[in-house]
Amino acid sequence: MDVSNILAAHAAKYQSVTVEKETPLEVDPGLLMVTDLNPIDEESYNDSREDYLQSLARDGVQSLFASLFSLPTKQSPDGPLAILPPPVYQLPRAKPLPKPKPPTKWERFAAAKGIQKKVRDKKVWDEEKQEWVNRWGRNGKNKEVEEQWIHEVPANADVDFDPVKAARDARKVRVSKNEKQRLQNLARNAGPQQQRKEEIDKTLASTRVSTASMGKFDKRLEGEKKLRGVKRKFEPAEASAEQEKKSSLNLLAKMESDSKKMRAAPADESSSVLNVRKAVKFASKGRGGIALARQSSRGKGATRGKGRR
């Protein structure tokens, strides 16, 4: 059986899709670019320039299409998409690389302890409503307690105990704590320039009140703002014995605690990730380092007692 006729007919109907050149074309599918490094043929360029340029471009596009159609594809609503490899040819960037964000205190701690970051969903499932609700924000789940219509009041509660207010205050405290931590992180990562600026502001403020008249008769510069001192607050002179006891104990605790000691060496926060004071407090369940040491020595003694002699 002679198939040469059929082959010839097929060849006539479908022209070839392969491109053969002296130097193979450099195809960069990542940038949809093809470079033809063969020298330009002077004769055909001078004879019929437009046709020659078009045939050159056709060959290039044909080989680019050959590599584009052999790429892996993925489905999308608009039809199949060819997944492009990263580009080979390198172009200069328009802007410098983004600077990495400085890690927060928690992020440094988590990295040291090997805690993986978990992304919390914005929505949580509400069993009662049988639908997904916001974790926070409008109709948020965190406002559930303060918005419910009936509240449990502990038996020993004060007369003026307001459970709605208590729940709301607890939430507000969490919010303000978060905000405080955010600001502290910002201040910690502000860099030496910002620190210096704050130092200068402080020095300036103290020099302004360091004259004989405490700055009262000094010449004001243009645009200079009035110094704002610390506003003092006074507790009412009459307080219940319970409250007085509580405030005095608070004051004593403050004087004892390391963080408030005025002459103590400043804790170097940046060097260690771990807050040692807090860690001891946590390990001893709030009883302090001495109790922890005593407990551990007792623990050792107990094991010795049990062991073989």
Partner 1 sequence: MLRTIKPKTARSKRALEARQPKEVEDARTAVFVKGTHTGELLNNVMKELMALKRPDAIAFNKKNDIHPFDASTNSIASLEFWSMKNDASLFVIGQTTKKRPHGLTFVRMYDGKVLDMTEVGVEGWKGMAEFKTPKSTPGHKPLIHFASELFDTHPRYQQLKSMLLDFFNGEEIESICLPGIEHVISITCAPTPASLNNATIPTQPTTSKEAEVLPKVHIRTYTIKLLASGTRIPRVELVPMGPSLDMSLRRYQDADPELLKQAMKRPKLKKTDVEKGLGKKRKNMEVDEMGDLRGRVHIAKQDLSKLQTRKMKGLKAGLDGDMDVDEDGDSDGFSPRKKRKET
Residue ranges in contact with partner 1 by CB under 8 A: 10, 13-17, 23, 30-42, 45, 49-50, 53-54, 56-58, 60-62, 64-66, 68-70, 74, 76, 78-84, 86-87, 89-98
Rg of the chain on CA atoms, in Å = 38
DSSP SS3 for 104: coil
Question: Residue 67: which residues within 8 A CB-CB, separation 6 or more?
Answer: 27, 29
Main-chain phi, psi angles of 27, to 5 degrees: -105, 130
- Among residues 35 and 272, whose Cβ is nearest to partner 1? 35
Tokens of 40: 């330009």
Tokens of 308: 């073989």
- Among residues 98 and 114, whose Cβ is nearest to partner 1? 98
**Closest separation in Å from C-beta 60 to partner 1:** 4
CB 109 within 8 A of CB 127: no
- Among residues 54 and 178, whose Cβ is nearest to partner 1? 54
**Closest separation in Å from C-beta 112 to partner 1:** 20
- Among residues 38 and 189, whose Cβ is nearest to partner 1? 38
- Among residues 62 and 185, whose Cβ is nearest to partner 1? 62
Q: State the Cα–Cα distance between residues 92 and 120, nearest whole angstrom.
A: 38
φ/ψ region of 156 (left if φ > 0, alpha if ψ in -120 to 50, else beta) reads: alpha
**Closest separation in Å from C-beta 77 to partner 1:** 11
- Among residues 61 and 112, whose Cβ is nearest to partner 1? 61
Q: State the Cα–Cα distance between residues 87 and 33, nearest whole angstrom.
A: 9
Question: Residue 59: which residues within 8 A CB-CB, separation 6 or more?
Answer: 19, 21, 25, 36
**Closest separation in Å from C-beta 49 to partner 1:** 8
**Closest separation in Å from C-beta 74 to partner 1:** 7
Q: State the Cα–Cα distance between residues 31 and 168, nearest whole angstrom.
A: 56
**Closest separation in Å from C-beta 241 to partner 1:** 51
**Closest separation in Å from C-beta 51 to partner 1:** 10
Q: Which of 14, 31, 23, 21 is nearest to 67 (CA)?
A: 31
> CA-based angle 144:150:170, to the nearest 5?
45
- Among residues 29 and 167, whose Cβ is nearest to partner 1? 29
Q: State the Cα–Cα distance between residues 254 and 248, nearest whole angstrom.
A: 10
**Closest separation in Å from C-beta 186 to partner 1:** 14
Q: State the Cα–Cα distance between residues 276 and 282, nearest whole angstrom.
A: 10
**DSSP-assigned letter for residue 131:** E
Tokens of 207: 């020099």
- Among residues 13 and 263, whose Cβ is nearest to partner 1? 13
